[in-house]
Structure 1
Amino acid sequence: MVAGSGDSEFSLNVEILGIALVHPYFWGSDPIGSESLNPGSALAGRLWPFICPSNPDNDDPRLNPMVAGGPSLVGLGCKRALVCVAENDLLKDRGLLQCIK
């Protein structure tokens, strides 16, 4: 986050207090929570390889921050993060994981 870092030549020197991740798209190779029960899981598993054919692995850290060596919300450069997920969203369990990480 360049705006909050203060280190870059492009920095705006603005203190960012928080961010909101609204319906984030996180996914992974191994199903968690209710993902294995949802028929839409097969489509979600094929979406990332379509979006990023140069790195089609569903455990890419940009898609699955919970993978070993993946990014953490701690390094975002703000003090708070609000993660919003919908009750019937296929991806909700991955979004909720970000709250506990």
Structure 2
Amino acid sequence: MHRTGGLVVDCGTRRVLADGRQLELTCLEFELIAHLAAHPDRVYTRQHLMELVWQQRPLGDMRTVDAHIARLRRKLGPGHRALIRTVRQVGYAFDPSPVTEA
């Protein structure tokens, strides 16, 4: 189980709670947030995420990773979407202490 602020990622029950509200995630969205939350601050390339989460060799462009990240951020909502940090031209990282906008 990974807890960050009001976000709880429970791998045992495969649930994600944002401020007590259970999120309806697809299997891949859950695997993506669970993997990122298990390795905070580690930057993963899109290719590496395809191999680890999708369990397939990346072919062509990596827009599918970007699309899943965008949907996941929408589901996390404004209070938690900043937990997934974009590292320009590299990939993504889970940032347990994001800078919040005032």
Asked if TM exceeds 0.5, the reply is: no
Rg larger in 1 or in 2? Answer: 1
Higher strand residue share:
2
Q: TM-score, normalised by structure 1?
A: 0.29
Higher RCO structure (Cα 8 Å, ≥6 apart): 1
